[in-house]
Amino acid sequence: QAQLVESGGGLVQVGGSRRLSCTTSGINFNSNTMAWYRQTPGRQRELVASITPGGNTAYADSVKGRFTISRDNAKNMVSLEMNSLQPEDTAVYYCNAKINLRPWGQGTQVTVSS
């Protein structure tokens, strides 16, 4: 059974950085494009960044140049390095496959405080 576990969230000041990690199991990781998503109350979950098995990346315009997604195919892990954080980055962050979504994990809360 697929399992996704996000970690690394917390409270950070405006302009600060945070690194999120996601450990996965049961999803044939090396064959999937993986992605980070985020959601705030009352809004749809949005795609933030994705990375193919070969390492090609794509980003939402709102985070381009500030966030970096990476993956470790040996450890079945995907990470998101977030820099120059802004209050609008406050959200619960989730990882999942970009296609063939698996059951969502609990996510990890990132709160950017001014």
- Confidence bin at 114 (pLDDT 50/70/90): confident
Q: What's the whole-number mean pLDDT along residues 20-45?
A: 95
**Kindly report the CA angle at 80 between 64 and 101, in degrees rounded to 5?**
95
Give residue 112's pLDDT.
Answer: 98
Q: What's the whole-number mean pLDDT along residues 5-20?
A: 98
37-72 as b/e, with b when 16 or more CB fall inside 10 Å? bbeeeeeeeeebbbbeeeeeeebeeebeeebbbbbe
Tokens at 1, concatenated: 């059974």
